[in-house]
Amino acid sequence: MFEKIALVGIGLIGSSLARVIRREGLAGHIAIATRSLDTLKRAEELGLGSSYSTSAAEAVKGADLVIVSVPVGSSGAVAEEIAPALKPGAILTDVGSTKGSVIAQMKPHVPEGVHFIPGHPLAGTEKSGPDAGFAELFENRWCIFTPLPDTDPDALEKLSQFWRRCGSNIDTMDPDHHDMVLAIVSHLPHIIAYNIVGTADDLQQVTKSEVIKYSASGFRDFTRLAASDPTMWRDVCLHNKDAILEMLARFSEDLASLQRAIRWGDGEKLFDLFTRTRTIRRSIIDAGQEVDAPDFGRQVAAHPEKLAKG
Ligand code: NAP
């Protein structure tokens, strides 16, 4: 599909892209750039690309498609660095979990004649780094684009085709809407998980060994989310602040109402809520976004083919 693809950032997402690009033969040349020499060496040992550099500007030279896969707080600095080296007519995209902030950071640096199309694959695990990636990560997952008013439809179609070849389904959205949707489906669950695991860690009356020993009772399902990369999630919180604060306010209100129902013994209210929420999980399984297994995705991360089969 492309003569040269440059991957700036080669962690979980970048290295999964490298693997699927190679498997599907989507590029003649895969140029890899990452900040640290250690990560670069590891990417080379894993044979993820055709060329390797710690200079993002060097890697993007002559590339038809440039995919930036770095923490969202660094996307502006990366755009500034690569801008003078981008080929006219190239497609520049990203995979960042927040869109309004990434657009505000990157867009001012994008030169005339380069097609900037912000994107976000809704696929991931709690692991990070080049070893964590796998070619099937994007299989049957959504990739959301938040095109800008001046986005070229042909470039958008070409990028959509690329992501379809990676296994994804495509959707487009307004950046603000994306940030609101993601605040509830992804950002809030991670914040709740970080919070509950932190609370358990602080408990005095229950020992840490008991928390670990009896974790299958529910706790461990939060620990998977709470094991996610701290840099990535710090940046998500700081760069989707407004939408997250709005969702947190609603969440706190609903939690207070649940707390009141427990205090006043309102069993009917509890039963009604727990019945309503059960159907949400059923819909997720029916939509092929989860397997009907009691391990909440851990097996899926290790064996993504199970997800593809639904
Ligand atoms: P990751 O595994 O931690 O890899 C991050 C990559 O970015 C590494 O190559 C790292 O380089 C580089 N990097 C880190 N800080 C940087 C900086 N300040 N300047 C330039 N490069 C820097 O992260 P990831 O999970 O692939 O996430 C990458 C992006 O994908 C993020 O924007 C995230 O929001 C988005 N995303 C993640 C998921 C997920 O579940 N993980 C899902 C969808 C989208 P070095 O190792 O060389 O320092």
Residue closest by Cα to atom 14 of ligand 1: 70
Q: Sketch out the chain's domains with CATH numbers.
A: 2-173 (3.40.50.720), 177-308 (1.10.3660.10)
In the chain, the amino acid numbered 297 is G
| d(CA 226, ligand 1 centre) in Å | 17
Phi, psi angles (nearest 5°) of residue 212:
-75, -45
Question: Among the atoms of ligand 1, which is closest to the Cα of residue 37?
Answer: 47
Is there an atom of ligand 1 within 6 Å of 12 CB? yes
Instruction: Convert the pLDDT of each residue in 51-69 to its tens digit.
Output: 999 999 999 999 999 999 9
Among 40, 41, 44, 98, which residue's Cα sits nearest to residue 74? 98
Phi, psi angles (nearest 5°) of residue 239:
-105, 5
Is there an atom of ligand 1 within 6 Å of 15 CB? no
Detail the DSSP E strand segments found in 80-227: 91-94, 115-117, 119-121, 142-145, 169-172
Instruction: Convert the pLDDT of each residue in 248-258 to its tens digit.
Output: 999 999 999 99
| d(CA 6, ligand 1 centre) in Å | 15
Average pLDDT over residues 296-304: 51
Q: What is the pLDDT of residue 308?
A: 40
Q: What is the pLDDT of residue 218?
A: 87
CA distance 134 to 157: 25
Instruction: Convert the pLDDT of each residue in 114-131 to its tens digit.
Output: 999 999 999 999 999 999
Residue closest by Cα to atom 25 of ligand 1: 12
Helix axes 241-263, 175-182, angle to 10 degrees: 30
Is there an atom of ligand 1 within 6 Å of 42 CB? no
Q: What is the pLDDT of residue 208?
A: 78
Is there an atom of ligand 1 within 6 Å of 91 CB? no
Residue closest by Cα to atom 1 of ligand 1: 11
| d(CA 173, ligand 1 centre) in Å | 23
Is there an atom of ligand 1 within 6 Å of 75 CB? no
- pLDDT classification of 293: cutoffs 50, 70, 90: low
Torsion of CA 219, 98, 18, 9, to 10 degrees: -100
Taking 80 as the threshold, does the pLDDT of residue 140 lie above it? yes
| d(CA 31, ligand 1 centre) in Å | 17
Taking 80 as the threshold, does the pLDDT of residue 298 lie above it? no
Specify the residue for token string 């009356």.
205
Q: What is the pLDDT of residue 203?
A: 83
Is there an atom of ligand 1 within 6 Å of 182 CB? no
Question: Among the atoms of ligand 1, which is closest to the Cα of residue 40?
Answer: 47
